[in-house]
Amino acid sequence: GRLVKLPCKVGTEVYNITWWDDVKEKVVVKGKTYYRTAHKHKVTKSTFGYFDIDEFGKTIFLTKKEAEAKLKELRGRDDER
């Protein structure tokens, strides 16, 4: 019984931050080469749906620029750990 105002129409093209799993990274330590699997994020296009409401402004954005700015912010937090 509660009315929710959507940030855009359902079906609108939006940008979301998603996992890009299993990225192989080459790491060289003291002349030895190692490979590790890293979990990275990337920005992808998708279509806005009702299930996206809770993630709007967190991982779902109207513009690619907003999504990339948030991803950059999240990466900065990861570097601090």
Q: Are 62 and 14 in contact (CB under 8 A)?
A: yes
Listed residue (11, 6, 7, 5) closest to 49, CA to CA: 11
The mean pLDDT of the chain is 86
CA 7, CA 71: separation in Å to the nearest integer? 20
Q: Are 15 and 63 in contact (CB under 8 A)?
A: yes
Confidence band, pLDDT 50/70/90 cuts, at residue 31: very high
Confidence band, pLDDT 50/70/90 cuts, at residue 78: low
Average pLDDT over residues 28-44: 87
The per-residue pLDDT for 26 is: 86
The per-residue pLDDT for 43 is: 93
Tokens 């991982």 belong to residue: 59
Average pLDDT over residues 46-59: 91
